[in-house]
Amino acid sequence: MRRFKLSDNAPEVSAIAYGVWRLADDPAGASTCRVREKIDACLEAGITTFDHADIYGMYTCEGLFGAALAEAPELRDKMEIVTKCGIRYPCDGLPDVKVKHYDATRESIEACVNRSLTELRTDYIDVLLIHRPDWLTSAEDTAAGLQTVIDAGKVRSVGVSNYSVVQFDLLSLYLENPLATNQVEISLLHMDAIHDGTLDQCQREGAHPMAWSPLAGGRLVSGGDSDSDRAVNALKKMAKAYGQTPDQIALAWVAALPSQPQVIIGTNQPDRIKSAAASESIQLSRADWYSLWESAQGRPIP
Ligand SMILES: NC(=O)c1ccc[n+]([C@@H]2O[C@H](COP(=O)([O-])OP(=O)(O)OC[C@H]3O[C@@H](n4cnc5c(N)ncnc54)[C@H](OP(=O)(O)O)[C@@H]3O)[C@@H](O)[C@H]2O)c1
């Protein structure tokens, strides 16, 4: 598995990351043994980056993962842990939260990091991301929070998720440590970041983006509406030509972007983790990449 530094001041990561958003929804359960099965499948395939958020599984996924780490603490040195903070969702564990909202204030960042460290049973986070821009907090306040957790040795590098180009630039103005990444949605069915300058900004800043939902949450495999059906058919055809599976071609399409996104997969099936890891060696030709763009968009390129 190819590896690269997420950015100059961030850790080295695997080209494919494993996202734990769906960990609590696994039809096979969320026992420590099942979670460990997926961690092992990742590590065996060279996937060493695990993408978390405090909110995943209604604030349970970090704890499920942490329980597996507690049973095998030697695994911590073999992985990079990314987690996100800043979304507050009403649930039993957060009785004070009455309305879903964003909170990227300094105070909130510090509290979230402390909680994540406890849940994940670790004493540091490799990369902390602000999950979504908080419209009510100044960039200066958010930057102060990020700097505080870095200075405390709790977080090694920081980044953002779902930030616009301007929001990324603004926050960067107040940070001593450059942002390591912008984690955004990228797939054949979601191309905003390709067209709105987000990925160009990442190239300019020397920060690899992280690509979430590269299979559009499964729509690129199952189809079900006219856009995804068109893309699924094109992927099936291309997969035959390359001797690969359609999901592998869809992942390779994202990985081919010149900003070199770290592609975050989200399957709960260990076999699919292995197959996704193998997609890393697929090189789509320029013609095939553009042909998939056209099939997914349902129109020729301008
Ligand atoms: N920053 C953000 O705002 C944000 C938002 C969303 C997600 N994320 C991150 O991105 C990660 C990945 O997102 P995602 O789960 O939506 O990724 P995805 O890879 O686009 O979708 C995974 C889903 O597709 C299904 N699927 C169906 N056929 C598949 C096949 N052949 N191979 C693989 N998967 C198949 C999986 O089901 P099975 O489990 O049955 O395989 C799973 O439900 C998340 O875990 C999270 O870490 C971040």
What does the pLDDT look like over 57-98, one tens digit per residue? 999 999 999 999 999 999 999 999 999 999 999 988 888 899
Catalytic pick among 56, 89, 163, 174 = 56
Which of 80, 213, 235, 279 to mutate for ligand 1's pocket (most ligand atoms within 8 Å of CB)? 213
**Domains held by the chain: number:** 1
Structural element, H or E, at residue 238: helix 226-242
Whether residue 247 is contained in a domain is answered as no
CATH number at residue 143: 3.20.20.100
Range of the domain at 72: 3-221+258-283
Q: How far apart are CA 14 and CA 247, in angstroms?
A: 19
Report the nearest-CA residue for atom 7 of ligand 1: 212
10 CA to middle of ligand 1, Å? 24
Supply the pLDDT for residue 298. Answer: 94
101 lies in some domain: yes
- CA–centroid distance, 19 to ligand 1, in Å, is 7
Q: Is residue 65 part of a domain?
A: yes
Residue 124 resides in a domain: yes
Query: Does residue 300 lie in a domain region?
Result: no
Q: What is the model's pLDDT at position 192?
A: 98
In-domain check, residue 265:
yes
- For residue 212, the model assigns a pLDDT of 98
Where does ligand 1 bind, in terms of residues with CB under 6 Å?
Answer: 19-22, 51, 161-162, 183, 212-218, 221, 247, 264-269, 272
The per-residue pLDDT for 95 is 87
Residues in the chain, pLDDT under 50: none
CA gap 47, 276 in Å, rounded: 10
Using CA atoms, how far residue 18 sits from 15, 22, 24, 41, 43, in Å, is 10, 11, 14, 10, 10
Q: What residues does 128 pair with on adjacent strands?
A: 83, 158
**Quick check: is 246 in a domain?**
no
59 is catalytic: no
139-170 pLDDT per residue, tens: 999 999 999 999 999 999 999 999 999 999 99
Is residue 236 in a domain? Answer: no
**pLDDT value of residue 98:** 93
pTM above 0.85, yes or no: yes
pLDDT score recorded for residue 23: 97
